[in-house]
């Protein structure tokens, strides 16, 4: 079973590496911008939590053939992005949807 799923797993791993690389390059400037916010700013706490959510996506891995890490990363990123969109609609908290 493991050998049969190997090509799919390898493609998933390749895609996951690309996603993580892109996320890292976008997350770094966002985290720096968040750190410049005043510590008493309520938005800072929320944004730090979102940045941690994105950062946790970087720690995901997969196990062949049934746990494809790339799919999990995409699912996790969709959840965080949906939450950011809801937050942006319901409050005045600034957020970076480009991540």
Task: Tell me the DSSP string of 23-43.
Answer: HHHHHHHHHHHHHHS-TT-HH
pLDDT at position 94 is 54
The residues that bridge with 67 in the sheet, in sequence order, are 63
Report the predicted TM-score, pTM, of the whole model to 2 decimal places.
0.66
For the chain, residues with pLDDT lower than 70 are 1-2, 64-66, 91-99
| Domain boundaries of the chain, sorted by first residue | 6-90
pLDDT at position 99 is 44
| H/E element, 84 | helix 69-90
């Amino acid at each position: 079973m493991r050998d049969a799923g190997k090509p799919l797993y390898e493609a998933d791993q390749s895609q996951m590496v690309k996603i993580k690389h892109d996320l890292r390059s976008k997350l770094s400037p966002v985290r720096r911008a968040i750190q410049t916010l005043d510590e008493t700013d309520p938005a800072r706490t929320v944004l730090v939590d979102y940045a941690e959510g994105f950062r946790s996506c970087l720690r995901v891995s997969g196990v062949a053939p049934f746990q494809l890490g790339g799919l999990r990363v995409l699912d996790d990123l969709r959840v965080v992005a949906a939450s950011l969109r809801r937050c942006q609609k319901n409050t005045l908290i600034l957020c970076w949807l480009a991540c």
